[in-house]
Amino acid sequence: MVQVIGYAAKKAKASLTPFYFERRNLLDHDVMIDIQYCGICHTDIHQVKNEWGRSTYPMVPGHEIVGNVSQVGSKVKQFKVGDKVGVGCFVDSCRECDAFHQGLGTIL
């Protein structure tokens, strides 16, 4: 497990405050990114405020990130440590929900 820090809302409409949590270790097809910058879009604001009624807290908003690859899984071929990357980052798709089966998820 990897100890990380993010800025999280602990409840609906709360200010973002430092939040320490653990990420799982990399799997074979994973890329770990040392995030340098993160955009907060209006979707994130809706989520933090629980305006759609399905938010889970604590929540670290921000899925548009830029940083440097710090580790790669054993089967990763497209990226190497030190690469600069930018992603609209949605990770760990369930690969079972309706959105995924409608083609709204992408697997590299």
pLDDT digits (tens, 9 = 90+) for 66-96: 999 999 999 999 999 999 999 875 655 667 7
> How many angstroms separate the CA atoms of 29 and 7, rounded?
27
* pLDDT in the model for residue 103: 67
Per residue in 8-61, pLDDT (tens digit) is 999 999 999 999 999 888 999 899 999 999 988 888 999 999 999 989 999 999
Number of domain units in the chain? 1
Choose among 4, 34, 9, 39: nearest CA to 22: 4
Dihedral over Cα of 104, 24, 77, 75: its sign = negative
Q: What is the CATH number of the domain that holds 94?
A: 3.90.180.10
**Distance of alpha carbon 59 from the chain centroid:** 11
Query: 62, 38 in Cβ contact below 8 A?
Result: yes
Question: What's the domain range around 27?
Answer: 2-104
Residue 64 has pLDDT above 90, yes or no: no
